[in-house]
Structure 1
Amino acid sequence: MADTAIRASRTRSAAPRSRTLATWQRRIPGFLMAAPAVAVFLAMFIVPMILAFVLSLTDWNGYSVNLNFIGFENYLHAFQNPRTVNAAIFTFVVALIGTVLCNAIGLAAAVLIAGPGRPNTLMRTVFFYPYIISALIIGFLWSAMLAPQGVVNSLLAQVGIPALPFLTDVTFAKASVILTIVWSHFGFNMILFLAGIKSVPAEYYEAATVDGATRWQQFRSVTLPLIAPVLTVNLVLTLVGLLKTYDIVLALTDGGPAGSTQTIVYQVLKDSFAQANLGFGAAQSVILLIVTAVLGLSVTLARRGAEKKVTD
């Protein structure tokens, strides 16, 4: 009896181990397939983030061999530096206004040209085309058009309107940067909204039509709630992307006039390379990374809560 009990006990203890081993054996192919992606993620994102944080604690100028650790002085300098503060304020203005306008115009365009037909197909191509053009090219193009003797002012002169300081006045320059960014980005939002609208079952619209709902009521009660996840993705992607705005500013205004249109990324690159202060530039990059992550997560959570209210 004792031997039988011992054998039964061993059998019971071996069974969980065998199941665990079988589970791990089934997971090994998945781990092997995910390993390259994980390695790339670590090499391209995690390791550079760690190195940037370490570099932000130094006063490295990009040329010297030795690194002098100065603690969090670069971070204190970033919050006390008027140029960095002004660049941060303008960056948030661009991100906020640009996100709202890109999504509003993109959604409106998607609703208007969602139907079949060649004209709608042509309009989709026209609206989306600026997004695939290099941002530097767009910046140089609009810089030539909005220059004091550019195309826009020449057209205004033809109708008796004096030239406007699109790139030389602080207010006009900021507005020009924001509107140029919106013009070049809203096509991407439009394509995502179009995909969401196309995924809405036609039966819902047919039922709403039978109930006597107008086009606006159908949009508000059918389309908008069902594309709420697409709106969330658009908001987060646009916000994060605009917080990293640099190339259009470089080509359109080069940060002027008087540094009024400098963004954080523009300031980071200027401090890092033009002024040979990579430690300070790294500190600003880390701050931007943290702020971007917090804002992106906050918008995502807020939108998820709104989506649940709509579905409930």
Structure 2
Amino acid sequence: MLTDDVLTSAPRARVHDAGARRRPSVRWGDRVAGVVMAAPAVIVFIAMFIIPMILAFVLSLTDWNGYSLRFDFIGFENYQFAFRNPRTIDAAIFTGIVAVVGTVLCNGLGLALAALISGAGRANTVLRTIFFYPYIISALIIGFLWSALLSPHGAVNGLLGGIGIGPVPFLTDPTFAKATVIMTIVWAHFGFNMILYIAGIKSVPTEFYEAATVDGASKWQQFRSVTVPMIAPVVTVNLVLTLVGLLKVYDVVLALTDGGPAASTQTIVYQILKDSFAQSKLGLGAAQSVVLLLITAAIGLAVTFARRGAERKVTD
């Protein structure tokens, strides 16, 4: 006779075998569903990034002027010219200065303000709105606004003249103009960094601050030893986004100084657009764009990996 255990185990075995037979098809169905759901994003990525990047590289090997249907393949002559052109080198140097100085100032100012106004309260809410507001304004509008304020006959020099101070060459002296461009860019962008830092600070568990307070830590010590280590990932995101964004800046320059005086405030993207359209050298502009893309990607990855190492040291 069959025991009760044998009778009950037989149906279980059949169910187990049926489930085992269905598993490959279930896994295959999950894979198909995953591919179908990811397909739109992959198609958009290929259409909007991969294909244009390939076309830009092909175009960089030609002397196309942007209008004629005829062009010749000239190899890497556009790249050679770009690296030998003093205007491009000067624009690249100024772009590097803008990116480095702007990243430091945007993140330093954003983090400091986030630490001061991250608490609850109507005043802090109003201040966060005020500081973030410039970021949502068009960069062209910001450039025109500050150009009107800082021009030789603008409002700022008018006020300075009223107290006996001569006109300051904010936009007419190369050194002043460079500083003005950087300060305007920082004014327009630091609000975004501040909001991200506020979000990071609010995500820190209050128990850590309570424990630090019990240990007798001051507000500065809590900020340095608790807040900054806990928001290390936010710092990484802010640094990468700001640095990559400032490497591509041109709209503020276009509206504020138009690259002057004496081409002292031209950035690399401004130079690319000028070569591509004003001088009808689409091939040269494409070559400069490819180089900028590679440099931006390399810098972004380098900063990300460096910050990941710093994050691991903090967590360890």
Q: What TM-score, normalized by structure 2, do the two folds share? A: 0.92
CA distance in 2, matches of 1:130, 1:35: 37
CA distance in 2, matches of 1:61, 1:20: 56
Deviation at 1:66, TM superposition (A): 2.3
Deviation at 1:23, TM superposition (A): 2.1
> Counterpart in 2 of 1:119?
123
**Backbone CA RMSD of aligned residues:** 1.3
CA distance in 2, matches of 1:81, 1:23: 57
Deviation at 1:24, TM superposition (A): 2.1
> Counterpart in 1 of 2:83?
79
Q: Does 1:103 align with 2:132?
A: no
CA distance in 1, matches of 2:177, 2:171: 5
**Match for 1:75: what amino acid?**
Y
CA distance in 2, matches of 1:274, 1:111: 46
Number of corresponding residues: 298
Deviation at 1:22, TM superposition (A): 3.8
Tell me the secondary structure at the aligned position of residue 73 of structure 2: coil
> Counterpart in 2 of 1:273?
277
CA distance in 2, matches of 1:21, 1:71: 51
> Counterpart in 1 of 2:139?
135
CA distance in 1, matches of 2:156, 2:58: 48
**Match for 1:92: what amino acid?**
G
> Counterpart in 2 of 1:186?
190
Seen in structure 2, the aligned counterparts of structure 1 residues 289 and 16 have a Cα distance that, compared at 3 Å, is: farther
Deviation at 1:228, TM superposition (A): 0.3
Equivalent residue in structure 1 for 2:243, among 239, 244, 253 = 239
Seen in structure 2, the aligned counterparts of structure 1 residues 195 and 68 have a Cα distance that, compared at 3 Å, is: same
**Match for 2:48: what amino acid?**
M
> Counterpart in 1 of 2:303?
299
- Which 4+ runs in 1 deviate beyond 4 A? 15-21
**Match for 1:206: what amino acid?**
E
CA distance in 1, matches of 2:20, 2:81: 58
Q: What TM-score, normalized by structure 1, do the two folds share? A: 0.94
- Structure 1 unaligned segments of length 5 or more: list them: 1-14
Q: Does 1:160 align with 2:164?
A: yes
- Structure 2 unaligned segments of length 5 or more: list them: 1-18
What fraction of aligned residue pairs are identical, expressed as a percent?
Answer: 74
**Match for 2:80: what amino acid?**
L
CA distance in 2, matches of 1:19, 1:171: 70
Deviation at 1:16, TM superposition (A): 10
> Counterpart in 1 of 2:202?
198
CA distance in 2, matches of 1:17, 1:291: 52
CA distance in 2, matches of 1:169, 1:150: 15
> Counterpart in 1 of 2:48?
44
Tell me the secondary structure at the aligned position of residue 262 of structure 1: coil
CA distance in 1, matches of 2:82, 2:243: 22
Tell me the secondary structure at the aligned position of residue 63 of structure 1: coil
Moved more, 15-24 or 71-80: 15-24
- 1:47-76 CA distances to partner (integer Å, 9 max, x unpaired)? 000000000000000111123100000000
Deviation at 1:301, TM superposition (A): 0.3
CA distance in 1, matches of 2:266, 2:148: 19
CA distance in 1, matches of 2:216, 2:177: 48
Q: Does 1:250 align with 2:254?
A: yes
Q: Does 1:149 align with 2:138?
A: no
CA distance in 2, matches of 1:57, 1:94: 29
Equivalent residue in structure 1 for 2:291, among 279, 282, 287 = 287
Deviation at 1:269, TM superposition (A): 0.5
> Counterpart in 1 of 2:14?
none
Moved more, 175-184 or 30-39: 30-39
